[in-house]
Amino acid sequence: MRTYDNPVIAGFHPDPSVCRVGEDYYLVCSSFEYVPGVPLFRSRDLVHWRQIGNVLDRPGQLELPDDAVASGGIYAPTIRYHDGRFYMITTNVSGQGNFLVTSDRPEGPWSDPVRIDLPGVDPDLAWDEDGSCWCAVSGVRLARIDPATGKVLEGPLPVWSGTGLQHPEAPHLYRVGDWWYLMLAEGGTAHGHGVSIARARSPRGPYEPAPANPILSHRGTDLPIQCTGHADLVQAPDGTWWMLLLGTRPRGFFPSFHVLGRETFLAPVEWADGWPRVGPVRERHPAPAAWHPVELPPELDDFDAEHLAPYWLSPRSRPEGSWSLSERPGQLTLHATGDSLDRPGHTFVGRRQQHSDCRIEACLEPGTGRAGLSVRLDEAHHYDLEVAGGEVSVIARIAPLRQRLARQSLAPGPVTLVVEVRTSSPVPPTATVPGEEAPGIRPGGPDTIAFRVADGEPLAELDGRYLSTQVAGGFTGRVIGMYVTEGSASFDWFAYTPSGS
């Protein structure tokens, strides 16, 4: 029997929403303070996904000021297809509120935003038989809207807000047979997370909760996948039903730490007595009938293309003058826009860490200032491998503390910077350099992050727990990338190589 492995989209890809058009599936995720916003994926089998772009890919669609906090920005998009057109609705909690964009093609271009004057987050869209468009938001409240103008035509109406647990959110409304189903997440997006559902004969209700709620939750279990929730349903062409949802893969000693963020998982759904049944979500499941592997992005980006690949991210903005692929053809040239990674406004181009064990390399041609590689969770939690003044050093920023841990002189010319993340041989939970010990402390971090030049000995090996949600807070995961905080520098290539699960 053919099987698939979870997660189906690894790394910081939370709050998945999915729709099917013919034999193609399209999926979007939250992007928070990063631009471009709302990554967009395509699949033919729900298992193999390839990013085909970003829905919010120009400044007129998404504005994130420098004072937008980490884990602010874009929350919980929903993607739907209706009457020959794609719709994506989401919330910018850092300014725009709820808005939607549309397109005739998933690849875009997507329209300018249409603002929806509704309070709440996690908006959803559904259409009834007479063509009325319904928008549900966290709470849970339901309104009839005009998607062309954003005008609220009816409501918002309080409908069903779950079983009484905290944070009823992520509502999705579906018409299945003669019933309208309202599915939501509740219990918070941490270990108490779960999925519950209710049904009614009309979108307005009244809603009858499922007798087996929550229909999915891993709370209180020792399953390797935790925090399961924020789900969306989709029916395959063969009539089977599937759920896309977020979850985490925590590691290490209590309370355990997840460093990749909340990832996208897939689970089969069965219907019994008029209700969906799902779970638990396993690391491996029987695969859907369709099977269409896709060509994944190359491990090496040599920056020979005319445009940056869609998986490259920058926090809050990426001004045109801060980067160039044409200034030095075949290289990514970065210009400093801020003097520190500890504050917003800096120049950074990175990609999500998607594997628990991986190796990241980049060839840097030092310029006139400071540049390097950074493993980033937010401005107050990052590890940097920095080149400046003819030497390379490792810098750890953990909350209010900032420390330079090691230095090494460099010869003139290009330098290959290396970051290795491994889950084996954890180090004590302190910043260490080779040969140093931290006696009396349990080595219980989720992973170790090592920094080196080319194939030389590690300059430092740091405990990864300090770049985790459990330490830093927030809703994102690690992003690893290139930066400049003084002058300019060019990167000839960047390689991301998985080395484990």
Q: Per this entry, what is the length of the chain?
A: 501
Torsional sign, CA 10, 196, 173, 181: positive
Percent share of the chain, pLDDT over 70: 96
Asked if pLDDT for residue 168 goes beyond 60, the answer is yes
Asked if pLDDT for residue 428 goes beyond 70, the answer is no
Mean pLDDT estimate for the chain = 94
* Token duo for residue 16: 């998945």
Span 303-320, average pLDDT: 96
Q: Which of 354, 192, 373, 159 is nearest to 262 (CA)?
A: 354
Torsion of CA 439, 440, 444, 448, to 10 degrees: -10
Span 192-206, average pLDDT: 97
- Looking at residue 203, the DSSP 8-state letter turns out to be T
Q: How far is CA 92 from the centre of its chain?
A: 15
Contact of 385 with 485, CB cutoff 8 Å: no
Residues 6+ apart with CB under 8 A from 17: 27, 28, 29, 76, 77, 78, 79, 172, 232, 244
Q: Is residue 258 part of a domain?
A: yes
Per-residue pLDDT, 440: 53
Asked whether residue 243 falls in the same domain as residue 330, the answer is: no
- Rama region for 346: left / alpha / beta (φ>0; ψ in -120 to 50; rest): beta
CATH number, domain at 208?
2.115.10.20
Span 419-442, average pLDDT: 61
Contact of 392 with 377, CB cutoff 8 Å: no
Q: Per residue in 476-493, pLDDT tens? A: 999 999 999 999 999 999
3-state DSSP call for residue 81?
A: strand
- The residue from 286, 313, 329 where one domain ends is 286
Contact of 38 with 31, CB cutoff 8 Å: yes
How many whole angstroms separate alpha carbon 132 and alpha carbon 117?
A: 17
Asked whether residue 226 falls in the same domain as residue 364, the answer is: no
Q: Where are the beta strands (DSSP E) in 288-345?
A: 300-301, 314-315, 323-324, 332-335
* Token duo for residue 345: 């406004």
Asked whether residue 254 falls in the same domain as residue 312, the answer is: no
Q: Is residue 475 part of a domain?
A: yes
Residue 57: CB atoms within 10 A of its CB come to 17
How many whole angstroms separate alpha carbon 445 and alpha carbon 463?
A: 6
- The residue from 286, 317, 334 where one domain ends is 286
Q: Is residue 295 part of a domain?
A: no
Q: Is residue 386 part of a domain?
A: yes
Contact of 466 with 446, CB cutoff 8 Å: no
Asked whether residue 272 falls in the same domain as residue 312, the answer is: no
- Looking at residue 344, the DSSP 8-state letter turns out to be S
Global pTM value: 0.95
CA distances 176 to 66, 125, 182, 277, 414, Å, are 44, 15, 11, 14, 60
Asked whether residue 235 falls in the same domain as residue 324, the answer is: no
Contact of 417 with 458, CB cutoff 8 Å: no
**168 phi and psi angles, rounded to 5 deg:** -65, 120
Full domain range(s) for residue 361: 300-498
Asked whether residue 311 falls in the same domain as residue 459, the answer is: yes
Cα end-to-end distance, the chain, whole Å: 22
| Helix extents (H) in 183-322 | none
- The residue from 229, 264, 286 where one domain ends is 286
Contact of 498 with 358, CB cutoff 8 Å: yes
Asked whether residue 169 falls in the same domain as residue 318, the answer is: no
How many whole angstroms separate alpha carbon 285 and alpha carbon 282?
A: 6
Contact of 416 with 495, CB cutoff 8 Å: no
15 a catalytic residue: yes
Contact of 494 with 362, CB cutoff 8 Å: yes
Q: Is residue 294 part of a domain?
A: no
Contact of 477 with 350, CB cutoff 8 Å: no
Contact of 284 with 380, CB cutoff 8 Å: no
Asked whether residue 213 falls in the same domain as residue 331, the answer is: no
Contact of 300 with 495, CB cutoff 8 Å: yes
Question: Which among 15, 232, 378, 384 is annotated as catalytic?
Answer: 15
Span 74-95, average pLDDT: 97
Total domains in the fold of the chain: 2
- Rama region for 73: left / alpha / beta (φ>0; ψ in -120 to 50; rest): left
Asked whether residue 406 falls in the same domain as residue 348, the answer is: yes
Q: Which of 304, 274, 283 is nearest to 177 (CA)?
A: 274
CATH number, domain at 401?
2.60.120.200
Question: Which among 33, 124, 169, 301 is annotated as catalytic?
Answer: 169
Span 312-316, average pLDDT: 97
Q: Is residue 210 part of a domain?
A: yes
Q: Per residue in 244-292, pLDDT tens? A: 999 999 998 888 999 999 999 999 999 999 999 998 999 999 999 999 9
Per-residue pLDDT, 439: 55
Percent share of the chain, pLDDT over 90: 90
Asked whether residue 69 falls in the same domain as residue 166, the answer is: yes
Q: Is residue 111 part of a domain?
A: yes
Asked whether residue 188 falls in the same domain as residue 61, the answer is: yes
Q: Is residue 372 part of a domain?
A: yes
pLDDT bracket for residue 435 (50, 70, 90): very low
Asked if pLDDT for residue 87 goes beyond 90, the answer is yes
pLDDT bracket for residue 431 (50, 70, 90): very low
Regarding beta strands 85-92 and 97-103, do their DSSP bridges make them parallel or antiparallel, or are they unpaired?
antiparallel
Asked if pLDDT for residue 63 goes beyond 70, the answer is yes
Span 23-41, average pLDDT: 98
How many whole angstroms separate alpha carbon 453 and alpha carbon 116?
A: 50
Asked whether residue 256 falls in the same domain as residue 347, the answer is: no
